[in-house]
Amino acid sequence: MSELFVVGISWRTAPVAVRERLAFREEELALAVQAITARLPVAEVLLISTCNRVEVYGVAKPGSDAATAVRGFMIEQRKVKAADMDDVLYEYRGAAAIRHVFRVASALDSLVVGEAQILGQLKAAYRMADASGTSGPVLSRALERAFGVAKRVRTETSIARGAANVSSVAVELASRVFGNLAGKNVLVVGAGKMSALAARHLYASGAQRIVVTNRSPAKAEALAAEIEGVAKPWEQLEDHLVEADVVISSTGAREPILTKKLFKTVTKRRRYRQMMVIDIAVPRDAETSINELDQVYLFNIDDLDKVVQANLAERAKAAEHAGKIVEHEAGQFEQWLRTQDVVPTIRALREHFAQVADAEVQKALDQLARKEHTRDQQRELVQRVVQLVVNKLLHHPTAALRESADDATLRAAVVCELFGLEPGDADEVVAEPPQPEQAPDAPEHKKAQA
């Protein structure tokens, strides 16, 4: 019935060149989800589009193949060739879809396992679907549960612990020397791609005073402007070093520019205050021997990489445990969802029975009110009412059983199970005449009453 499905593409199945063709811009999202619910047999829908995945989470309208329809919609919307999408667009339904959503929220399906970014993106997508009116009871329950599972995974496993990229490792190491980056002077030597990345990370981690120096002043100016830093002339490198607590170096220089000779002067001038040098250049910018100087801590790209690898290995180990948590939670949720599916049926069944019974009882009461009945007439009336109710209730199931062709045995078995019948009883029911005016087993009732 209200089955959850997922149609999507991610870094697992397609390179960025393919993913970007299916991606939705933020301003397109609301329109897209509304179009899906308006045009397709989809009751509820959510669309998430990040650099690593484009996925549609939806709930199909009863009896429809919504997943296939959504797949077609994505292909048509993004104007891509259907044949190209065969291998890259995946689909999950029911239990598999629930498990997928839980895994995505818990960052188990992320490129870097445990990166919490996806959880925020998923929450934003959910808010967007909610605002667009395309979310519904099934999606909201599944997502709320997914967020809960993600929280559980984060607190119970070490999946999100330890920096997972070179820049965050640099920040983490800086915290071991300085504690807090606020109030520390950061010097970025070289304004290339790598230093820009690291500088942005330091800036995001609270570094407030950033100086950028570069051989070509224009590039230094550009990077400095972006991270609220100051560009300073390359010629006064020594002075900048004296001021700096954290140095990030990534120049294209062939020969080391941060030499031991230079650093001997620098450390003395800065009165041996602690200093951290992160050399992410290849070939290296700093002479290894500066690490021997007191209060100078030098890390090169390999040192940082080693930490990243160790942390990733740690995360992979945690991911196994996390996977088990997700598996367990998905199982529980699925079970719960299944019982939720049956509830409306039970309610409808009870209402239907009550309606039929009420209608016949009302008719009989009307008859009784219209004229005097003898006791025999009254008894006959009661018997007829019960008979009519039974006939009316059995009419539809009987017809359905008789009309069933392919699945006749299955239906018969279900009925037997539902009513606790022995196979012999079932035969009798099927053998009933099509429109029984008079109940054949009426005398039995009399006998039973007697």
Residue numbers at the binding site for other proteins (CB under 8 A): 173, 175-180, 270-274, 291, 294-295, 297, 299, 303, 306-307, 310
Q: What type of residue is 296? A: V
Neighbours of 227 (CB within 10 A): 19
Catalytic choice (16, 51, 310, 399): 51
Written as six digits, the tokens of 287 are 């002479």
Cβ atoms of 26 and 48 closer than 8 Å: no
Least distance CB 239 / other proteins (angstroms): 17
Least distance CB 296 / other proteins (angstroms): 9
In the bound state with other proteins, the residue whose beta carbon lies nearer, of 298 and 326, is 298
416 catalytically annotated = no
The owner of tokens 């519904």 is 136
Least distance CB 294 / other proteins (angstroms): 5
In the bound state with other proteins, the residue whose beta carbon lies nearer, of 54 and 307, is 307
Q: How far is CA 348 from the centre of its chain?
A: 33
Least distance CB 298 / other proteins (angstroms): 9
Cβ atoms of 89 and 73 closer than 8 Å: no
Give which of 59, 49, 55 is closest to 28, Cα–Cα: 49
Question: Cα separation of 113 and 12, whole Å?
Answer: 12
Least distance CB 226 / other proteins (angstroms): 28
Cis before 423? omega within 30? no
Question: Cα separation of 342 and 346, whole Å?
Answer: 6
In the bound state with other proteins, the residue whose beta carbon lies nearer, of 273 and 370, is 273
Cβ atoms of 42 and 62 closer than 8 Å: no
Q: Which residues contact 201 (CB under 8 A, 6 or more apart)?
A: 167, 168, 170, 171
In the bound state with other proteins, the residue whose beta carbon lies nearer, of 176 and 375, is 176
Bridge partners of 212, per DSSP, are 188, 231
- Contacts for 114-118 with beta carbons within 8 Å, 24 or more apart? 114/159, 114/160, 114/161, 114/164, 114/315, 114/318, 114/319, 115/160, 115/164, 116/154, 116/160, 118/50, 118/52
* Order of strands across the sheet that contains 4-10: 42-49, 53-60, 4-10, 90-93
- Contacts for 149-155 with beta carbons within 8 Å, 24 or more apart? 149/102, 149/105, 149/106, 149/325, 149/326, 149/329, 150/102, 150/105, 150/106, 150/107, 150/119, 152/325, 152/329, 153/106, 153/107, 153/108, 153/322, 153/325, 153/326, 154/106, 154/116
In the bound state with other proteins, the residue whose beta carbon lies nearer, of 239 and 305, is 305
∠ CA 430-434-436, nearest 5°, is 100
In the bound state with other proteins, the residue whose beta carbon lies nearer, of 27 and 294, is 294
Least distance CB 292 / other proteins (angstroms): 8
In the bound state with other proteins, the residue whose beta carbon lies nearer, of 175 and 345, is 175
In the bound state with other proteins, the residue whose beta carbon lies nearer, of 158 and 340, is 158
Least distance CB 320 / other proteins (angstroms): 18
Least distance CB 138 / other proteins (angstroms): 37
Catalytic residues: 51
